[in-house]
Structure 1
Amino acid sequence: DAIDFSDNEIRKLDGFPLLRRLKTLLMNNNRICRIGENLEQALPSLTELILTNNNIAELGELDPLSTIKTLTYLSVLRNPVTNKKHYRLYVIHKVPQVRVLDFQKVKLKERQEAEKMFKGKRGAQLAKDIARRTKTFNPGAGLPTDKKKAGPSPGDVEAIKTAIANATTLAEVERLKGLLQAGQIPGRERKSGPSEDAEEEMEEEAAPNGS
């Protein structure tokens, strides 16, 4: 099952009743800046979590997701936290069950890099330092430049947002997953659709006039 809570004013991902069948949770376009603890108790089957375009600013705020062992698809695009140094490797280390992060498949090389970076006592201390430093980091420093250097292009982001916004049914979500696994940007495959539909409509309108 899927639930769409996108385009609201939600500030914290928390307070869910027991939803055993819920697999996909769409939370894009909110104001989420915190994630509650023990979400796996209320959402024991959650496999896909879309947090695109929220206000998560600290790497440490993503730590509670580590307890959701069923989580395999995660999007945190267009959150300030994605501009943090070692963001992607940190998430791969903290939430190793995720296989697709920000619509990009987690590669074996990335897992190896994350394991090497956070291995042993030094690695554990580095992880703590990274999470702690984000609390004193100035969220406004260098964000526009960083966004231009990494991640999808503005057009790709809009395509992803469109696909997420339309994924209100389980069938749509499954279609979206198929596109992601194929390495395609959701929404791209639809570009030819409107023009074809328009041609069909024109033909249908022309038929009555000719008779």
Structure 2
Amino acid sequence: MSLARLRLFQLVSPALPVGAFSYSEGLEVLMQAGDLPDAASVRHWLEAELARGALAIEAASLGQLMDALARWRETPDGPACQEALERDGWLLAQREAAEVRAQQRQMGRSLLQLLADLGLPLPGDGSQRLAWPGAWAWAGLALEVPPQEVVEAYLFGWVATQLSAAVRLVPLGPTEAQRLQLALAPTIAARAAELVVADPEALWNGGVGAGLAQLGHAELYSRLFRS
């Protein structure tokens, strides 16, 4: 097994200290509304987001982010720094809900801090901050993971986090969640192969339901999650 693959496993580990377990990205709203009553509905939701949600635009941008970050690493004072920050900011603007934007920033900060603690800081003075997609791209680059595997892991990690939330929200046991993760593996692999060569600016976000659910989370009377 390659060293890069082992490093990739570390990135998708539930032990990665970035706080992903505390977010549902609107799943909690859908559950309380009765829109996700069972495993079949959860699977349909995950497949829809993989196909046409903001997640796909983020995943398609990872290669461009890695390229800009690689040039930034080579020339810390060059224009690639601004290019990476602008691309990351463009992705953050795709997220309508303030809670999800805060999530992306917090997880990005946590991952960058972890990488710095592991001896893999951002180039330059390290004061620049990236949200989650940019931080993930930097992690892939710093750990020498190929772009397609970075995209696969990004999609896999998102599905795993959503299923973790679903276990706590839906009548969905951990075995059923693992069954869904296994069933979605071919979809994740196929979607990653498409997105790694896609132009993110040519894609469109059809996740209107996700956006509305995420916006509605702040108005919930009681909640378990931060988004």
Q: TM-score scaled to structure 2, two decimals? A: 0.26
Which one has the bigger strand percentage? 1
Query: Which of structures 1 and 2 has the bigger CA Rg?
Result: 1
